[in-house]
Structure 1
Amino acid sequence: MFSISKLFASSDDPNSLGAYFRKKRLQQFEQLFFNQFDVNQRVKILDVGGTDYFWKGSSLLDHPKVEITLLNLHLEESSHPAIKSTTGDATNLQEYQENEFDLIFSNSVIEHLFTWENQQKMAAEIERVGKKHFVQTPNRYFPIEAHYALPYAQYWPKKLLFHTLTKTPLSRFRKWSSKEASDYIAEIRLLDEKELQRLFPSSEILKEKVAGLTKSITAHNLL
């Protein structure tokens, strides 16, 4: 049965709009990936902030020489032999050498770093440890804020946003806990196209369009 609440659920829900856009984004990434890499040779990928769930169904996992490492602040579960998990800080990848990975992948993570300074650090580390990269983030100017599914929530006063999240079911048809709402409001700093280009000056910027508007932006050098 069709459910509006499912449609606007988190992208971890396979029936949500977020999951639909993630699937399309993965397909676009795979097209660029296979134009760039020979999968008959070993290809090391670091997924910054990634999950095992994101890669389920990906054609990359059909190639035994593709290795994906998930890097998060906490240890993510992994159920596929090509995917391993580790902990680390996206702004300080000191455990990795220059160009240690063939590709750095990151989906909807860089906007969760609190400050522009931290976003600069993450971008610099991605370019240091990866030969190639594909870094996606929601567009600041898209009318529906991606994390709350509320119109122009990125411009709301923080007190109003907190009240709306915790006292009403307007955001994704549920009431958020006080901690979850506080954490999100504190950590999210959305980027626009110009800022993403500043972070990755030699990269191409892909624009994900919805109804003619740019929903998300991706910096990549898979050229």
Structure 2
Amino acid sequence: MPVRSLRNRLVDGPDSWGAKRRSRRWTWLTETFPELPDMTVLDLGGRVDTWERAPVRAAHVHVVNLEPTPDDLPPWAEADHGDACALPEDIRRRRYDLVFSNSVIEHVGGHERRLRFAETIHAMAPAHWVQTPYRYFPVEPHWVAPGLQYLPVKARSSIAHWWPLQHTKATDRAETLQAVLWTELLDKTQMRHYFPRSVIRSERVAGVPKSLIAVKKN
């Protein structure tokens, strides 16, 4: 089986195992916040097209990301280029019903930046849903590589550079090293530290936690 086809079957394709897990998380989200269709949501680090594909969509979604903003947005969405750890003042003055973040906190750049990220979440809405892959799940999710997260940086970078199941192959080893250094998976102790008033849910596979979700309702 070609490598790209295997990755699509595992995590990227619409009928993949990963897609089924994401669908289940959306079900959890809507069960936790049944009022979601009437809520205003600040999505930190996400994308508008995620909400376009969602089975249930919020009344208004404001995406803030370091990526270029889309040119054509649906009427229920807005997007801004910004750092989720230090939002522009015009955004910080606003308030939302819910802050949503999916697989972002592990990429913001170290403990101090994660503190700023969590502070933003706490300040912008009374409720939040913050998901991140669990550090001690045996397969590193970004490269779909068993045990990669446990290795020294040099070994992680060397393996990640040639690993066939990575999402996008880096152009050189320096770019691979950057990707490795900007990926720091979290454990339960860290998530409880950043979200002390939240419930920390575990998404499990065969009884083993795969991801953690910090949930706080109004």
TM-score by length of 2: 0.87
Displacement of 1:174 in angstroms is: 7.4
In structure 2, the gaps of 5 or more residues are none
Tell me the SS of whatever aligns to 1:207. strand
Q: Is the 8 A contact 1:98 1:128 kept in 2?
A: no
Q: Percent identity?
A: 32
Counterparts of 1:97 and 1:158, CA distance in 2: 35
Give CA deviations for 1:177-203 in whole Å, capped at 9, x if unaligned. Answer: 325422221111111111101101000
Alignment CA distance shift 1:200-1:50 (3 Å): same
Aligned to 1:82: 76
Amino acid in structure 1 at the alignment position of 2:18? G
Alignment CA distance shift 1:213-1:92 (3 Å): same
1:47 to 43, 48, 52: 43
Total equivalences in the alignment: 213
Matches within 5 A, 1:117-132: 117-132=112-127
Tell me the SS of whatever aligns to 2:74. coil
Displacement of 1:130 in angstroms is: 1.3
Tell me the SS of whatever aligns to 1:85. strand
Aligned to 2:10: 8
Counterparts of 2:94 and 2:77, CA distance in 1: 20
Amino acid in structure 2 at the alignment position of 1:4? L
Aligned to 2:202: 207
Counterparts of 2:124 and 2:107, CA distance in 1: 20
Q: Is the 8 A contact 2:26 2:55 kept in 1?
A: no
Aligned to 2:17: 17
Alignment CA distance shift 1:216-1:31 (3 Å): same
Displacement of 1:52 in angstroms is: 2.0
Counterparts of 1:191 and 1:98, CA distance in 2: 30
Q: Is the 8 A contact 1:203 1:219 kept in 2?
A: yes
Superposed CA RMSD: 2.5
Moved more, 183-192 or 14-23: 14-23
Counterparts of 2:49 and 2:171, CA distance in 1: 24
Displacement of 1:168 in angstroms is: 4.4
2:65 to 63, 69, 72: 72
Moved more, 154-163 or 71-80: 71-80
Tell me the SS of whatever aligns to 2:22. helix
Alignment CA distance shift 1:101-1:168 (3 Å): closer
Aligned to 1:28: 28
2:56 to 31, 56, 60: 60
Give CA deviations for 1:153-196 in whole Å, capped at 9, x if unaligned. Answer: 11112222222222342x34875432542222111111111110
In structure 1, the gaps of 5 or more residues are none
1:216 to 211, 214, 217: 211
Matches within 5 A, 1:163-174: 163-169=158-164, 171-172=165-166
Amino acid in structure 1 at the alignment position of 2:74? H
